[in-house]
Amino acid sequence: MEYNIFYNILNKQIFESSKKDLLEKIAKYPDRYIGLFRPTKPKAKILQNLLQSNEIRFGDALEILFEKYFEQLGFLILEKRIGIGKEYLDLDQIFKNEDTIYFIEQKVRDDHDSTKKRGQINNFEKKIIALLKIYKEKDIRCYTYFIDPGLIKNKKYYIQELNKIHSDYNVFTKLCYGKEFWDEIGHSEIWDELLDYLKRWKSEIPDMPSINLDEDSKNTFEEIKDLEVSIFRKLFNNKEICNEILPIIFPENKVLKLLYEYFIEKINEGSIYKTLSNKILEILNKGQTASPNKQ
């Protein structure tokens, strides 16, 4: 895979829509950011939210990357959503090579607590049952795969449970960490490339995500302008959000001014846009988005 493809997949999956998601969370759950019974100030909570979101999105990005790799290696990607009656299950990876089907339950690291590890195995078994019904006599190889080899917390448990599934269903199961899976399918060079690309990518991204959404105001505006109007209502009608959150994320008013102009243009589409534009104008005139240094 070319590095620019790798780079674009990670950046798109991890960083695109992060601002939109942040605003939705602030609007829906303001007390998580400005509640009195919290040991953090709003600025720290916003940063924490972005960091946690990036961690989750990183796992999603690796799923997309790995699928691209499997496709590049000549495997046929199969339908990831499978049905059992009225229930649907989403598989992390499923692909085919000649008469062999590979199913992978993929996670970044093995750091689950007792409840999560049991849920992981139950989910794995449920998906295997569905696959055996769909593909019947096909050769199905089922893997629980943790990408990060640096954290191996529940290896003994997973091996025991996978052995039970293998015995009871007469299906191939295996636990893999890091490079082990790529060795399993005969393509260890992909693991080496993945490590090289990840090191390069991490050297090119900022040390910390910026919570000043005015820094890239035009792109921020394009990302958030089509949020549900109910989200904007919740943001601009909440005095604590206006006083404590907006000065942090919009310290120069650039995005708010773009939103104001945008809503003015849409007034003919509904009175809500006049209401929103008036709310923003009120915020701007009161200076409620002054520099957070003044907070």
pLDDT at 289: 41
Q: What are the tens digits of pLDDT across the range 206-235?
A: 888 889 999 999 999 999 999 999 999 999
On whether both 159 and 103 belong to a single domain, the answer is: yes
Under the banding of pLDDT at 50, 70 and 90, the label for residue 85 is confident
* CA distance readout (Å), 66 to 128, 133, 144: 20, 26, 14
What's the rounded Cα separation, in Å, for the pair 78 and 10?
22
Q: Does residue 183 register a pLDDT over 50? A: yes
What's the rounded Cα separation, in Å, for the pair 242 and 99?
60
Domain-terminating residue out of 136, 168, 186: 186
Phi and psi (nearest 5°) for 111? -130, 25
Q: What are the tens digits of pLDDT across the range 6-38?
A: 999 999 999 887 899 999 999 999 988 887 777
On whether both 181 and 239 belong to a single domain, the answer is: no
Its pTM stands at 0.81
Q: What are the tens digits of pLDDT across the range 52-80?
A: 888 889 999 999 999 999 999 999 999 99
Q: Is 2 helix (H, G, I), strand (E, B) or coil?
A: coil
**What is the overall mean pLDDT for the chain?**
91
Query: What range defines the domain where residue 262 resides?
Result: 17-36+212-294
User: What is the enclosing helix (H) or strand (E) of 279?
Assistant: helix 271-286
Count of CA atoms in the C-beta half-sphere (13 A) of 98: 0
What mean pLDDT do residues 244-266 have? 94
pLDDT at 206: 85
Q: Does residue 295 register a pLDDT over 50? A: no
Report if residue 106 sits inside a domain. yes
Considering its fold, how many domains does the chain have in total? Answer: 2
